[in-house]
Structure 1
Amino acid sequence: MSDDTAAIQEGAKKSGILWLTLDRPRLAWHAWHDGAIYLVTGGEEQPMPGLDAKDRVHVTLRSKDNGARLVEFEAAVSVVDQGEAAEAVAVLAKERLNARDSEHLPERWARESTVWRLTPER
């Protein structure tokens, strides 16, 4: 594992938020799973305008302790088939704080939201 890969993995695991450069820097909650960052948008979840038009996005991970920039990188953007990625969706649901229907998140997301995979480019 390269130093960059290790820094990305460590930063993504330690902090549940990141910044995506879209129309402007946008704060997003996420989960790290199986070598990638997963996030959910749409419906009652976080809006990420313009993400659907991108095949790559600039990601900034910051320290949970002091907010300092840990690492920046480009990531490939893809929509996740929620049925095929049930394990990743379960990890995301576990990280989703303060949901009104936490026990039914995967079902609601399947109806009204999009799950994204951001794969760091090395």
Structure 2
Amino acid sequence: MSDNIAAIQEGAKKSGILWLTLDRPRLAWHAWHDGAIYLVTGGAEQQLPGLDALDRVHVTLRSKDNGARLVEFEAAVSVVDQAAAADAVAVLAKERLNAPDSEHLTERWSRDSTVLRLTPDR
């Protein structure tokens, strides 16, 4: 594993938030699973306008302890088929804090939201 990918993995696992460069810098919560970052947008979830239409996005991971920048990188963006990636969606659902409907969270996501995979450049 390259040093950059190792830093991305470590940073993404240690902190549940990241910054995306969209129309402006946007804070987003996420989960790391199987070599990629997963996040959800739309519906009653975080709003990340235009992310689902991008091929690539700039990502910044910061330290959970002091907010210092750990690593910045480009990532490929892809929409996730939630039924086909049930394991990744389950990991993402575990990271969703304070959901008002945690028992039906993934059903709501499949109906109202988009799950995205951000794959860091290798």
TM-score between both structures, scaled by the size of structure 2: 0.99
Q: Does 1:88 align with 2:94?
A: no
1:99 maps to 99
Report the counterpart of residue 57 of structure 2 in structure 1. 57
Counterpart of 2:102, as a letter, is S
2:101 maps to a residue whose letter is D
Stretches of structure 1 that go unaligned for 5 or more consecutive residues are: none
2:43 aligned partner: 43
Instruction: Tell me the residue number matched to 2:75.
Output: 75
Deviation at 1:50, TM superposition (A): 1.5
Partner SS, residue 57 of structure 1: strand
> 2:117 and 2:31 mapped to 1: Cα distance?
10
Instruction: Give the CA deviation at 1:103.
Output: 1.3
Aligned residue pair count: 122
Q: C-alpha separation between the residues in 2 aligned to 1:38 and 1:77? A: 10
Q: Distance in 2 between matches of 1:117 and 1:24?
A: 20
Are the equivalent residues in 1 in contact too, given 2:31–2:38 (CA < 8 A)? yes
Aligned identity (percent) is 88
Runs of 4+ off more than 6 Å: none
Residues in 1 aligned to 2:61 and 2:52: alpha-carbon distance in whole angstroms: 21
Distance, in Å, in 2 between the alignment partners of 1:32 and 1:92 is 8
Cα offset, 1:55, TM superposition: 0.3
Structure 1: distance between partners of 2:5 and 2:52: 25
| Residues 19-49 of structure 1: CA deviation (Å, up to 9, x unaligned) | 0000110000000000000000011000001
Q: CA RMSD in A?
A: 0.5
Runs of 5+ unmatched residues, structure 2: none
